[in-house]
Amino acid sequence: MTSPNPDRRSERARQAILEAALELCQQQSFAGLTMEGIAKRAGVGKQTIYRWWPSKAAILLEALMERAVDTLDFPDTGDVVADLRTQMTLVVHAFNDPMFSAYSRGLIAAAQSDPEIAAAVVDTVIKPRVDLCVERLEKAQKSGDLRADLDPQDVVELLYAPLYYRLLLHTRPVTEAQVDTILQLTFTGVAG
Amino acid sequence: MTSPNPDRRSERARQAILEAALELCQQQSFAGLTMEGIAKRAGVGKQTIYRWWPSKAAILLEALMERAVDTLDFPDTGDVVADLRTQMTLVVHAFNDPMFSAYSRGLIAAAQSDPEIAAAVVDTVIKPRVDLCVERLEKAQKSGDLRADLDPQDVVELLYAPLYYRLLLHTRPVTEAQVDTILQLTFTGVAG
CA distances from A90 to A152, A169, B20 (A): 20, 20, 45
Strand partners, A146: B191
Q: Which of these ranges, A54-58, A176-180, B119-123, has the smallest mean pLDDT?
A: A54-58
Which chain B residues are Cβ-neighbours of A61 within 8 angstroms?
Answer: none
Tell me the shortest Cα–Cα distance from A161 to chain B, in angstroms: 5
| A167 vs A96: CA distance, rounded Å | 9
d(CA A36, CA A15): 16
**Measured distance CA(A117)–CA(A111) in Å, rounded:** 5
- Best mean pLDDT range from A44-58, A121-135, B47-61, B177-191: B177-191
* pLDDT of A170 over the 60 cut: yes
Q: How far is B64 from chain A (nearest CA, A)?
A: 17
By the 8 A CB rule, do B111 and B33 touch? no
Q: Pick B52 or A7 by higher pLDDT.
A: B52
Query: Which one is predicted more confidently, A79 or B67?
Result: A79
- DSSP for chain B reads -PPP-S-HHHHHHHHHHHHHHHHHHHHHHHHH--HHHHHHHHTS-HHHHHHH-SSHHHHHHHHHHHHTGGGT----SS-HHHHHHHHHHHHHHHHHSHHHHHHHHHHHHHHTT-HHHHHHHIIIIIHHHHHHHHHHHHHHHHTTSB-TTS-HHHHHHHHHHHHHHHHHH-SS---HHHHHHHHHHHHH-SB-
User: How close does chain A come to B127, measured CA to CA in Å?
Assistant: 8
pLDDT at B145: 96
Give A5's pLDDT tier (boundaries 50, 70, 90): low
Chain A hits for B136, CB-CB cut-off 8 Å, are none
Tell me the β-bridge partners of B191. Answer: A146
How many other C-beta atoms are found inside a 10 Å radius of the C-beta of residue B26? Answer: 12
CATH number of A8-65: 1.10.10.60
**What's the ipTM?**
0.85
> Which chain A residue has its CA at the smallest distance from B112's CA?
A105
Chain A residues in contact with B155 by the CB 8 A cut-off are: 185, 190
Taking only the tens of pLDDT, chain B with its 192 residues reads 455 555 677 889 999 999 999 888 878 777 778 999 999 999 999 999 999 998 888 898 888 888 775 556 788 999 999 999 999 999 999 899 888 888 888 889 989 888 888 998 998 889 989 999 999 999 999 999 999 999 999 999 999 999 999 999 999 999 999 999 999 999 999 999
Q: What distance in Å separates the CA atoms of residue B51 and residue B39, rounded to the nearest whole number? A: 12
The whole-number pLDDT of residue B4 equals 54
Rounded to the nearest 10 degrees, how much is the dihedral formed by the CA atoms of A61, B182, A163, A125? Answer: -10
**Cα dihedral B35, A33, B108, A158 in deg (nearest 10):** 180
Domain residue spans of chain A: 8-65, 69-188
> What residue of B is the nearest CA neighbor of A106?
B112
Q: Is the pLDDT of residue A70 over 60?
A: no
**CB contact at 8 A, A13 and A48:** yes
pLDDT at B33: 85
CB of A126 within 8 A of CB of A69? no
Check whether A14 has a pLDDT greater than 90: yes
CATH architecture of the domain covering A69-188:
Orthogonal Bundle (1.10)
The average confidence (pLDDT) of chain A is 89
Where is average pLDDT lowest: A76-80, A144-148, A149-153, B102-106?
B102-106
CB-closest option in B108, B146, B148 to A168:
B108
The reported pLDDT for the residue numbered A62 is 87
Q: A103, A60 in Cβ contact below 8 A?
A: yes
> How many angstroms from the chain centroid is the CA of residue A128?
8
Higher pLDDT, A135 or A125: A135
- For residue A31, pLDDT over 80 is answered with no
B177 lies within 8 A of chain A by CB: no
Phi and psi at B105, nearest 5°, equal -65, -35
Backbone angles phi, psi at B129, to 5 degrees: -70, -45
Task: Indicate the CATH number of B68-188 among 3.60.15.10, 1.20.58.220, 1.10.357.10, 3.40.50.850.
Answer: 1.10.357.10
CATH topology agreement for domains B8-65 and B68-188: no
Distance from CA of B160 to the nearest CA of A (A): 8
